[in-house]
Amino acid sequence: MQKLLVSSDTARKIDEEAQSAWGFNTFALVESAGRSCARVFVKAFPKFFDSRIPSIAIAAGSGSNAADAMVMLRYWILQGLASPSSSTVVVAKPPKRDEKNPYSEVFLSLKKMEVPILVWDGDLGEAAGRQSEDALARADIIIDGIFGTGVKGPVKGSSEEMITVVNALKRGTRAYATDQYKKPFVVSIDVPSGNSDEWKPGMPIMEADVTLSIEPQKICLFNPAARAFAGEIISLGDVFPPGLINSHQGAELLDWARARNFLPRIRPDAYKHERGTLEIRAGSVGTTGAALIAARGAQAAGAGLVRILADDDIYPILASRASGVMVSPISREGKGDRFKPDALLLGPGWGKEGDRAEQLAQALEKEKNGTPVILDADAIALARDAVFHKNAILTPHFGEFAAYVGLEIDKALNNPSKMLLEIAKEKKATIILKGHIITIAGADGRWGVIDGMMPALAAGGSGDLLAGFCGAMAARMARKGAFDGYACAAAAVSLLIAAGRLVGPRFIDPLELADKAADLAGQAWLCTGDN
């Protein structure tokens, strides 16, 4: 099932429609969200409740996000998982006497249950010992209920102060006179407070250990510049009806379970050409490994036949290590050559000198005539001025993308999706923006996000492997007459991340990653007696 990522404005519209057209009211939505957060957190982190009652503090604003947090605490108290005496609510401001909304109602409920409620008391810079700050400092768990996605611009005032203090406690940089203070576990609801579609580096933002993200999840969570502040993201899908969510548009959150279905299964009687043939132009003196890794990636992703067209001076090196991959010297191109590739891959370890521009021009002519072309690394830089014909996939990392569009890397990192979509449409190509968060923009306006967050993949070779995956899948699609650049890119990136998760949290050889990918791809696409 597709998982939608939406903007703050779309999230607001969904909330309004739930109340105006679907029979929900704001009290029911808050109760559902808070209880769901409480249940999911206990299931994900039972250690906090196994042996004792934890001390819990809420850092609360005055809106629905604060109400969600207080419902969460109330549910734990009613279930015997928390107690009023070990809990505290710290609010930016209390509700007015005549207020009637979820925040005021749950505030009253917790007050009746004798949960201590404190108003944030003082400016930053005062000596430690303020009552509200002490309550936060003593907590095992701090629930961040200061702001949701409705915040406009940077957080200010007492809300900013609370964010600053909680972050300092979490980092262990806040000094106190006794040893009873601890580093808390910070839980954000929906998004870390301060994050929004308008957030930019330097603005205040909560540094959460985990974010309980209510579906539809918010695209600002996966802004590469902000992603680390959310910690682990756990989605909650039982608040809004799927029919309501799916009536809106946005990006899709991709994973292997969904993206593997973008390509059909391979029949038991299929022969190698039906699986697609891929030609790779890659490698140069000192970077022959890139060509081999790309070729291994193509094999792992199911290509029926892979050929490296190599410079003459590196041909002997590649030919001696090819093992199942065809290798031909560039000087033999066109001389009795019967190899007819379904897709082309150019760029891994290729360099920009010599006849590279000429080879690229030949490939782009084939792209114009319908052959899928994957451009990686140096080939992307060489193709900066090209406009494609919806048969190209570009695979830049942030540095390459910044150079491609003429921006500083920091600007390319922050909320790149809008710019990426515009460039993909302008260039008529699918673009994979690689990084800890991977964003894919199709020439037709589709876009998706893969939540990578795998530092082990930030190493030489993983990009070459991904390019090989793309090439293999593009070749198979083209062989069937149904190339889809966005679907190809989504499946390739999802396969890379899924293979990385199988390897686990350790440093890896890209060829080991290829083996894991081959297992996943085979299980997904090969029709056998066992599958």
* Residue ranges of the binding site: 290, 349, 397, 463-464
Binding-site residues for (6S)-NADPHX, in ranges, read 290, 349, 397, 464
Supply 51's token pair: 């042996």
Write the Ramachandran bin of 19: left for phi over 0, alpha for psi from -120 to 50, otherwise beta.
alpha
Beta partners for residue 439, in sequence order: 433, 449
Distance between CA atoms of 56 and 114, rounded to whole angstroms? 14
The helices-and-strands tally (H runs, E runs) of the chain is: 18, 19
Q: Are 58 and 92 in contact (CB under 8 A)?
A: no
> Other C-beta atoms within 10 Å of 99: how many?
13
Sheet strands (E) in 291-368: 305-310, 326-329, 343-346
Q: How far apart are CA 418 and CA 93, in angstroms?
A: 36
Spatial neighbors of 195 by CB under 8 A, at least 6 apart, are 149, 205, 206, 220, 221, 223, 226, 229, 230
Tell me how far apart the alpha carbons of residues 99 and 165 are, in angstroms, rounded to a whole number. 29
CA dihedral 26, 32, 34, 39 (to 10 degrees): 180
Q: Distance (Å, rounded) from C-alpha 464 to C-alpha 348?
A: 6
Please choose, from the candidates 423, 420, 401, 421, the residue with its C-alpha nearest in 3D space to the C-alpha of residue 410: 401
Distance CA 97, CA 204 (A): 30
> Which residues carry a binding-site annotation for AMP?
463
Instruction: Tell me the C-alpha distance between 483 and 251, whole Å.
Output: 21
- Burial string for 245-278 (b: 16+ CB within 10 Å, else e) reads beeeebbbbbbbebbbebbeebeeeeeeeebbbb
Whole-Å CA distances, 455 to 227, 423, 497, 502, 505? 13, 27, 11, 14, 9
Instruction: Specify the amino acid at residue 330.
Output: I
Rounded Cα distance between 52 and 49, Å, is 6
- Residue 38: helix, strand or coil by DSSP? helix
496-499-505-511 Cα dihedral, nearest 10 degrees: -80
With tokens 């593997």, the residue in question is 260
